[in-house]
Amino acid sequence: MNGLIAFLPVFVILVMLLVGKSSVGRAGFLGLLTTLILSGTYFHTPLEVICRSVLAGLVASLPVSVIVVASLLQLSIMEVSGAMKRIISFSRQLCCKDEVSQFLTLVIGFGTVLSAAGAVPVTVITPILVAMGYSSVMSISLSALGYDSLCTYTILGVPLVVFSDIVGVDLIFAAKHFVPFISVVSFSISVAVLYIAGGLKYIKRGFVPSLMIGLLSFLGAELAIFLKAPIITGLIAGFLIIAVLLILYRLRNGKDLMVSPKDEMSLIKAFMPWLILIFFIVCINLFEPLRNLFYKTLSVPIDLLKGRPVYTRPFWQAYTWIFASGVISLFIYRLNNQQLREIFRKTKKRVAQPFWSATVFFLIAYVMMNSGFEKTQNGFELLRVENNMIHAMAVFSAKLFKDFYPFFTPYLGVLGGFVTGTQTSATAMFANYTMETSKLLGFSPIFMTAAVAFGSGLASAISPSKLQNAAASIDRIGEEKKVFPKTILIVLLMALFTSVISYSVRKYSL
């Protein structure tokens, strides 16, 4: 009974999204309200613990919520300056003689690099595909799906960092648990992109390149681990994919004639905010003294729960350097006062709902994690384990799924990604629950939690918030509702492949 009641906030959010057609932010608020009420009444959590948990969740959400603001500011700068227009023009001409190569290069390769560099692929790639003449439904579907294979390494590895912090392991050790999933998921997503774009005909033509994408994604992850910089996996793998696909394309079709009108901005200048950002992040993560300084020495822990600090790492987080690259690009583009006001207006209009949506699920997760804790002389302790919501959910799931739990974990991730809209928020919401359940069943807690994370990445293709952002980028709000029936079966099938991997590594330990 306790387990079903503990799951109630998740059910409330799901019902509000599917039946009530609520926004992600409103559904999240009702889920948070349900969590607060249950934690304080049914699970007997003191008010002080609840308040501290909410504050801890707010602090823990900053790498995601603030990065939303930073990324949207960067996007507004590039739109107002004309940089985005130049990038779209360039992308339309890329691999224009072969649609299969074009789809894989733009949607998989370019999408992965964009997401890794702090951009939002659904708001960049969707307008590009529409400008190339594809339907709004297909454009939204492809832009939301394409970069999901390396969703763990989006926004310069923020989901991985949150995963390692919540699970309580080293960043490198955490990254190694994602490697078994990468090649299979990357291959399956490439095939899914081709199927949506052109059916079985495109799958046949792009099968070998899809296999190569799976291999290149795996090699990119291994190289990043070797360099002790797993958060740049998305950049390494994305650039590898683009380079190899372009080489294959040129061997088959020759070099495209890329026409650049004289009145257009240079390509280097257009890409400058992302290039500056990549330079900062690569330097910080490959130069060990800097990495140790920003990641460890200046970790700035905030200990609201006495013994379980949240490490903010303000000088290492991607949002700091996205803001920095954005400010520098203002001088490069030489924007006037009117353009600066337009940037502020666009950013202000866009940030409120995504900021709250990125925050609220961390609040829910931290209240659940600390439910039942009481203040003692030693700090805050869980004196009665049955009063903890995460424990109740874990015991219920262990009894329900038993040995089949590894098959369930990716689908839990899909549910979490659908509900929260981001892999990071889904990981925050379900990581502790998955760890606890896996321990009860004797499975590898970290591998099972990694399976949840990958499942939540796949959910980008059906997440209401992601699809709505894509539709908004082409001024077609409402079109996103037509995408869900088109992609839901594909997502569930890809989750099945992930389940097979999850089951095969269920008791493996590194």
Any idea which residue has 């299979």 for tokens? Answer: 184
Residue 185 maps to a domain? yes
Residue 64 maps to a domain? yes
Q: Which residues contact 484 (CB under 8 A, 6 or more apart)?
A: 462, 467
Percent of the chain beyond pLDDT 70? 93
Q: Write out pLDDT tens, residues 377-414.
A: 777 877 788 888 888 888 888 888 888 889 989 988 88
Judge if pTM exceeds 0.85: no
Residue 509 maps to a domain? no
Name the nearest CA neighbour of 429 among 4, 3, 9: 9
Strands, E assignment, 13-63: none
Six token digits for residue 195: 């199927």
pLDDT score, position 36 = 95
Six token digits for residue 81: 């300056």
Q: Which residues contact 274 (CB under 8 A, 6 or more apart)?
A: 114, 117, 118, 119, 325
More confident residue, 240 or 466: 240
pLDDT score, position 475 = 65
Instruction: Name beta bridge partners: 302.
Output: 310
User: Is pLDDT at 223 greater than 90 in this prediction?
Assistant: yes
Residue 273 maps to a domain? yes
Name the nearest CA neighbour of 424 among 66, 189, 159: 159
pLDDT score, position 156 = 63
Query: Which structural domain range is residue 95 located in?
Result: 2-504
Helix or strand run (H / E) with residue 253: helix 233-253
pLDDT score, position 34 = 94
Residue 135 maps to a domain? yes
Residue 357 maps to a domain? yes
Residue 27 maps to a domain? yes
Q: Which residues contact 113 (CB under 8 A, 6 or more apart)?
A: 234, 235, 238, 239, 242
Residue 510 maps to a domain? no
| Residue 403, number of CB atoms within 10 A of its CB | 11
The total of structural domains in the chain comes to: 1
pLDDT score, position 148 = 64
pLDDT score, position 219 = 93
pLDDT score, position 46 = 92
More confident residue, 369 or 240: 240
Q: Write out pLDDT tens, residues 95-115.
A: 667 788 888 888 888 888 878
User: Is pLDDT at 119 greater than 80 in this prediction?
Assistant: no
